[in-house]
Structure 1
Amino acid sequence: MALTPCGISTAQRSILVQIERAGSPTMTELAYAMVLDRSALARNIKPLERDGYLVQRPDDDDGRSRRVELTLAGRAKLTESNRLWRKAQNRFEAVYGEERAAALRVALAEIYSDEFAAAFGQP
């Protein structure tokens, strides 16, 4: 709901954020980082590509792999969504409390960590 004004979903924003962090990841790298299988990632990427927010191109070193890159429009959409995301986070902190929100983020980061996943036998 927080991102409704900019026309992308939180899942789509997460993809844009991850691509920006990684630079130009392969689809496999992006799927791993997003904890998605490649088919689910492909379904989520299609509307972003259709709307001109990202492009896929062959990997220079491995023609079988495809790299995903943000376009200028994608970077602008990410900037727009970041403002809305920050506004939503500020509202959450105002209601939930800044300290409690920070503690929750720490707990969620621990649960999302590779160490936590390894404890459950996940790669």
Structure 2
Amino acid sequence: MKTENKKSSVCNCLNLRRASLAITEIYDHYLAPCQLSVSQFSILKHTHAMEPVSVSELAAEIRLDRTTLVRNLKPLERQGLIHDIAPPGTRNRQLCLTAAGRERIEQANAYWELAQKRIEAQLGQEDTKTLQALLLKIEVLAP
């Protein structure tokens, strides 16, 4: 990616938003053959690791607002990748992956790895580690 025409803003928030959009674009590009966005991939991976999992627990783990998560779950449920195993009439949904969801994660994981390698190749291993450490420091700044 060329940076010659791009300038950093004095606003840290704007710089982080721009960087976030760029990173999301890279992951979405690599995951496109699997018909998943990076957000959907993350939801599937976390669901798989935690299943059965409630929507509230999943939202807390991913650090997403519950309503945002519910909105992002709908297409995954429509595609038959996630299903609710809670008894009918129960208020607390219990999410699990379907066989198709497990298959999709397996397929998408290779593309996710390519995105990871692309970013590390662009930044270098040391800067990638520094970025991860700085992002964690930033995340804990929030009140």
Please indicate the TM-score interval, normalised by the length of the shorter structure: 0.7 to 0.9
CA shift, 1:91, in A, is 1.5
Q: 1:37 aligns with which of 65, 83, 87?
A: 65
- 1:88 correspondence with 2:110: no
Structure 2 equivalent of residue 2 of structure 1: 30
From the CA coordinates, give the structure whose radius of gyration is larger.
2
Query: What fraction of aligned residue pairs are identical, expressed as a percent?
Result: 37
TM-score for the superposition, normalised by structure 1: 0.82
RMSD: 1.7
Q: In the TM superposition, what are the counterparts of 1:1-123 in structure 2 within 5 Å?
A: 1-58=29-86, 63-112=90-139, 116=140, 120-121=142-143
Structure 2: gaps (5+ residues): 1-28
Q: Which runs of at least 4 in structure 1 moved beyond 3 Å after TM superposition?
A: 109-112
CA distance in 2, matches of 1:46, 1:87: 27
Aligned residues: 113
Change in Cα spacing, 1:19 to 1:97, as seen in structure 2 (3 Å) is: same
The residue type paired with residue 120 of structure 1 is: A
2-structure distance, mates of 1:12, 1:90 = 20
TM-score of the two chains, using structure 2 as the length reference: 0.71
